[in-house]
Amino acid sequence: MKILIKYSSGTGNTGFIANELQKHLIKMGHQVESSNIENEAMNSEFDMLIIGGPIYAGNVPEKLIRYVIGNIPDAKNKKAIVYTTSTGLLNAHGVLSISKKLHIHQWKMNTVKNYSWKPENK
């Protein structure tokens, strides 16, 4: 399966998770491209989409929300995974915020996950 990971990351934690996901998915036999939303234009030739973002003040950064609204194509029920990284799990609403926007574009949510981040995870 061709998988695209797009993420936003201020201090590197969300990018770290993107790299780990990419390594594991490649080991499973998938073709995986991964890049920061600020790096490249969106490649539309993929079967599954993974979106990752950090939680700042309870939600993902505005620039990630704008990126999803402005760049994600309609999917016709292809699968998507959304994850966020944060210090805690209580004030972390970004996964729902992004997945609702993907749902509007006919993405079928496979997984919605928040990682509670501790420095020793790296």
Q: Binding residues for ligand FMN, per CB under 6 A?
A: 9-15, 54-58, 85-88, 91-92, 117
Concatenated DSSP letters of 32-65: EEEEETTTSPPP---SEEEEEEE-BTTB--HHHH
| Shortest spacing between CB 57 and ligand FMN, in angstroms | 5
| Shortest spacing between CB 3 and ligand FMN, in angstroms | 20
Place of tokens 């695209």: 4
Q: How far is CA 34 from CA 14, 57, 84, 111, 119, in A?
A: 12, 25, 15, 18, 22
| Shortest spacing between CB 105 and ligand FMN, in angstroms | 24
* Nearer Cβ to ligand FMN (13/34): 13
The C-alpha R_g of the chain, in whole angstroms, comes to 13
Residue closest to ligand FMN when measured from CB atoms: 54
* Nearer Cβ to ligand FMN (75/86): 86
| Shortest spacing between CB 10 and ligand FMN, in angstroms | 3
* Nearer Cβ to ligand FMN (27/122): 122
Rounded Cα distance, 81 and 102, in Å: 10
